[in-house]
Structure 1
């Protein structure tokens, strides 16, 4: 049995979704040299947001962590459609944006949803540099958004 990223996703009970259509004038991912830069991914499933609102006021930190995992899954779909997941050498950088209610300071725990997925799929190659940033608003009132930079072969 393959130990590749698609097999790891299957072991986790996950399948790659269709690549989310851009909401404005950009592409989901672009390759430059040995890096793929993935545009910010929202927690979309079948073209619809899985939740809206602020984390800490209407969206729990645990729910937001699950939504961050969905953002990461959408990022993997964008990478797969551009170059194929089997070409990923390293998840280099993850930036997570969390639409935060006043006083909410659990952004790192929320963004762990994305980080943990990358670790589960890529092992050591899934360990990455990261920022977890609280913001006032995100597109479409999404609670979370994730962008990724990966190194590819």
Structure 2
């Protein structure tokens, strides 16, 4: 069985550096066997990969790619606190989607994160989830994802 990092490599991805906080908080906190991430934005190398509203200037497909990057950044935050990803179970994912008032496809956008967790963690990536439409997110990001993970064993 491949490790989560090996599964990421098969997808052409790697765990990035932890995105530095934009304000007064930490990227993730461990409480007992649980790791709570702060909201993760679709940031690569210090910059958002897209800005704007889903249903406006951002397509649902672009937003799903943003959600995937948010999930990858969450994996980095989880690994920074937990160390080894091979004992991680994704418990809950919340996706915030900055969207136009008539856009109702938030669950499809959130699939960008959920599908990555499934591909990386297998059965341990199956999780409960909420997908919420909001009027605006920090830095005009189209998507923000937060995660609760469990360190098993």
Report TM bin, short chain: over 0.9
Indicate the residue corresponding to 1:126 in structure 2.
125
Q: Output the TM-score relative to the length of structure 2.
A: 0.97
Indicate the residue corresponding to 1:148 in structure 2.
147
Q: How does 1:1-16 map to 2 (within 5 A)?
A: 3-16=2-15
The structural deviation recorded for 1:102 is: 1.7
1:120-142 deviations in whole A, cap 9, x for unaligned? 00111100000000000000000
Alignment pair present for 1:86 and 2:123 = no
Alpha-carbon RMSD across the aligned residues, in angstroms, is: 0.8
Moved over 6 A (4+): none
Indicate the residue corresponding to 1:137 in structure 2.
136
SS of residue in 2 equivalent to 1:147: strand
1:32-58 deviations in whole A, cap 9, x for unaligned? 001000100000000100010000000
Indicate the residue corresponding to 1:108 in structure 2.
107
Q: How does 1:37-116 map to 2 (within 5 A)?
A: 37-84=36-83, 85-88=85-88, 90-116=89-115
More strand by share: 1
> Which segments of 5 or more consecutive residues in structure 2 lack a partner in the other structure?
none
The structural deviation recorded for 1:6 is: 0.5
Distance 2:78 2:116 in 1: 15
SS of residue in 1 equivalent to 2:17: coil
> Which segments of 5 or more consecutive residues in structure 1 lack a partner in the other structure?
none
SS of residue in 2 equivalent to 1:108: helix
